[in-house]
Amino acid sequence: MESNTFSVKKYTPKDKFLWQAFLQVSKNGTFLFQREFMEYHSDRFEDYSLLVLKKEKVVALLPANISSKTVFSHQGLTYGGVVFHKKTKLKEAALIFSSILQFLNEAGIEKLHLKMLPKIYNLLPSDEMDYLLFTTSAKIVRTDVLSVIDNQNPLKIAANRLEGLKKAEKNKLRIVEENEFKVFWENILIPNLTLRHQAKPLHSLNEIVKLAENFPKNIIQFNVYKENEIVGGATIFETETVAHVQYISANEDKQQLGTLDFLFEFLITKRFNEKRFFDFGTSNENQGRNVNEGLLYWKECFGARSIALPFYEVKTANYKKLASVFI
């Protein structure tokens, strides 16, 4: 299997137009891979994104960063992996991946960590990497579980969630789709994360505001109010096939008011009912080894079921194994 027709180069700002243009013709690229999104936390990650070219034309991308001589498909993103063109077939994908591994190996990088793209985000069948990781003896180092609703095959919402809906209607709650992130971040999200997990949101208030300005069709805030007081909310990251819940939070009265049951019944059955998938995200903790059972139960009551998100580690020297795949 000859790979000398492919070349690999590290991304530089001069490549931005090429990068952005390729995402528009890819089968597994989302707005998270656009440079305006990836670079919001450039101060926290050393970029090591790659472009793969064939005769000066981009044929694949790898959004990535480097840390301690290991390259990661990007640690600052929810998901990652190699981004392929819509027309890419299996053998070309193998040549592309071989070229990436060889490039990294020759640069003295021994390992590549790939956080995969959940299949629900693909615009076309795109499991090439699952097979190629097998052939290069990659090992799974972590697996998270996403709770996902398939809107083409929806399950009934459990009665206990509909009870919450009745509470919300009785309390005259209202849902507002707006560009107001500050009231949710400062009054609900940050206090809850600090109190319960001694953590902060992945995105600061300034970061999420800037990202929403850059991606107004993809990042949407829904706030729930009782009279004029915010009592909960959710931040949705929307792609062509998926409405993904990036943040969920409500005040301490959520059970009494039915805040989140009310909000998510609306999001699932009304606002995003024509989106192919509704993704609640993970309920994992401790690097995927544990599941927050209560959170998982709540999501599954809406009809969500599990999809795996694997993380792989592959030795870059194993690019040689791809030479004998095709017979």
Interval 184-232: pLDDT, tens = 999 999 999 998 878 899 999 999 999 999 999 999 999 999 999 999 9
Model pLDDT for residues 122-175, shown as the tens digit of each residue: 999 999 999 999 999 999 999 999 999 999 999 999 999 999 999 999 999 999
pLDDT more than 70, % of the chain:
99
Q: What is the pTM of this model?
A: 0.94
**Spatial CB neighbours of 306, under 8 Å, sequence gap ≥ 6:** 145, 146, 147, 148
Tell me whether domains 6-143+310-324 and 153-275 share a fold.
Answer: yes
Q: Average pLDDT of 63-72?
A: 95
CATH number for 6-143+310-324 (one of 3.20.20.70, 1.10.3720.10, 3.40.50.12780, 3.40.630.30): it is: 3.40.630.30
Domain extent listing, the chain: 6-143+310-324, 153-275
| pLDDT exceeds 60 at position 251 | yes
CATH number for 153-275 (one of 3.40.50.300, 3.40.630.30, 3.90.79.10, 3.30.465.10): it is: 3.40.630.30
Q: Please report which confidence band the pLDDT of residue 60 belongs to, taking 50, 70 and 90 as the band edges.
A: very high
| pLDDT exceeds 60 at position 272 | yes
Distance between CA atoms of residues 98 and 320, nearest Å = 8
Mean pLDDT across the chain, nearest whole number?
A: 95
- Quote the tokens at residue 91: 């053998």
